[in-house]
């Protein structure tokens, strides 16, 4: 039944009335927040840059009949993760979209250890903490959803992005297992595994641009897939890449993707792109 401007009542009842979207200041997270708002879901927008979040919140409230909250947090810090969870305590949250993440690129010997550990904290540790917290809340209300972010690089090891690919393999494996554990409690779990998407991600990861999917399409396909499958490969590019690579032995996939990453890595001898973006955030 359609209630408010395109809002599907059964969908809203399952995953609403509130969703927490991390990485909502830009990129895929922002597009998912917009998509959810069009479905009538109220949104808690989380990322570090409060000003950008406030702008997204205003735009969402002006274009959809929903409420928003903004929580500025660095998900690389456990106290900030706790702050987000506390900030959501009074809200009836039915969906977590854990889109915040970043990548490092380049030979493992050339990347900085702080960036690598920081990436583990944001891409994995925060996602685990938030998934654990919201799973318990969703189980108590017997419905809800988790959307976690893997990647095409998460299905095998990838040189020149070794730790990033490992963080995404962790998420892919986590999501597949959680989908089994949480299904009896009415909770749907989805791993979104995109190929390259046209956001600021590549530049921040120190990667040269390549043919990329539209983030609005990625968001649309991802939200639509929730409750229907465990992994979505949004966009034609991800489907073609993952499905064609999927027929090859794992070591060959590693060789091919490592070669692609090498060709996209601008500075092989000491990338500090994410450090710079962290400092400027």
Ligand X SMILES: NC(=O)c1ccc[n+]([C@@H]2O[C@H](COP(=O)([O-])OP(=O)(O)OC[C@H]3O[C@@H](n4cnc5c(N)ncnc54)[C@H](OP(=O)(O)O)[C@@H]3O)[C@@H](O)[C@H]2O)c1
Name the residues annotated as catalytic. 164
254 counts as binding ligand X under rule CB under 6 A = no
Residue 276 Cβ vs ligand X, minimum distance, rounded to whole Å: 12
**Count of residues touching ligand X (by CB under 6 A):** 33
Q: Measured in Å, how far apart are the chain's first and last C-alpha atoms?
A: 42
Are 18 and 39 a contacting pair, CB within 8 Å?
A: no
**Which CB, 34 or 48, lies closer to ligand X?**
48
Are 139 and 182 a contacting pair, CB within 8 Å?
A: yes
15 counts as binding ligand X under rule CB under 6 A = no
Q: Which of 25, 163, 222, 254 binds ligand X (CB under 6 A)?
A: 25
**What is the largest distance, in Å, between two alpha-carbon atoms of the chain?**
57
Sheet strands side by side (includes 93-98): 68-72, 42-47, 18-22, 93-98, 144-149, 187-192, 231-232
Residue 184 Cβ vs ligand X, minimum distance, rounded to whole Å: 28
C-alpha closest to that of 109 among 154, 152, 159: 159
Q: Which of 14, 38, 39, 48 binds ligand X (CB under 6 A)?
A: 48
28 counts as binding ligand X under rule CB under 6 A = yes
14 counts as binding ligand X under rule CB under 6 A = no
**Which CB, 99 or 265, lies closer to ligand X?**
99
**Which CB, 19 or 24, lies closer to ligand X?**
24
Residues in contact with 74: Cβ distance below 8 Å, sequence separation at least 6, in sequence order:
48, 80, 281
Distance CA 162, CA 152 (A): 13
As beta bridge partners, residue 96 has 20, 146
Site string for ligand X, 198-237 (x = CB under 6 A): -xxxx-x---------------------------------
Are 32 and 22 a contacting pair, CB within 8 Å?
A: no
- Contact region for ligand X (CB under 6 A) — 60-68, 83-91, 104-112, 194-202? 194-202
**Which CB, 7 or 53, lies closer to ligand X?**
53
**Which CB, 105 or 187, lies closer to ligand X?**
105
- Name residues contacting ligand X, limited to 81-100 (CB under 6 A): 99-100
Say if residue 255 is exposed, middle or buried (CB neighbours under 10 Å; 0-12, 13-18, 19+).
middle
**Which CB, 40 or 101, lies closer to ligand X?**
101
- Name residues contacting ligand X, limited to 115-144 (CB under 6 A): 122
Residues in contact with 267: Cβ distance below 8 Å, sequence separation at least 6, in sequence order:
106, 110, 206
Using CB under 6 A as the criterion, which residues of the chain lie in contact with ligand X when the complex forms?
Answer: 22-29, 47-49, 52, 73-76, 99-103, 122, 149, 151, 194, 196-197, 199-202, 204, 281
């Amino acid at each position: 039944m359609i209630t408010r401007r395109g809002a599907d009542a059964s969908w809203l009842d399952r995953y609403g009335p509130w969703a927490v979207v991390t990485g909502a200041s830009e990129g895929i997270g922002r597009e998912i927040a917009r998509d959810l708002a069009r479905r009538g879901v109220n949104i808690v927008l989380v990322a570090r840059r409060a000003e950008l979040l406030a702008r997204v919140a205003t735009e969402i409230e002006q274009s959809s009949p929903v409420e928003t909250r903004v929580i500025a947090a660095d998900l690389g810090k456990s106290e900030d993760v706790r702050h987000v969870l506390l900030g959501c305590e009074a809200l009836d949250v039915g969906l977590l979209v854990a889109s915040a993440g970043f990548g490092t690129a380049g030979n493992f010997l050339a990347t900085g250890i702080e960036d690598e550990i920081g990436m583990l904290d944001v891409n994995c540790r925060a996602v685990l903490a938030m998934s654990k917290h919201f799973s318990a809340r969703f189980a108590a209300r017997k419905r809800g959803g988790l959307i976690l972010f893997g990647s095409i690089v998460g299905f095998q090891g990838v040189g020149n992005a070794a730790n990033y690919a490992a963080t995404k393999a962790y998420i892919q494996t986590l999501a597949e297992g959680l989908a089994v554990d949480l299904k009896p409690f009415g909770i749907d779990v989805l791993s979104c595994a995109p190929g390259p998407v046209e956001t600021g991600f590549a530049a921040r990861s120190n990667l040269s641009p390549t043919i990329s999917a539209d983030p609005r399409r990625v968001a649309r396909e991802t939200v639509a897939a929730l409750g229907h499958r465990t992994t979505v490969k949004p966009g034609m590019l991800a489907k073609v890449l993952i499905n064609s690579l999927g027929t090859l032995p794992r070591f060959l996939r590693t060789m091919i993707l490592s070669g692609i990453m090498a060709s996209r890595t601008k500075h092989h001898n000491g990338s500090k792109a994410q450090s710079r973006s962290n400092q400027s955030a």
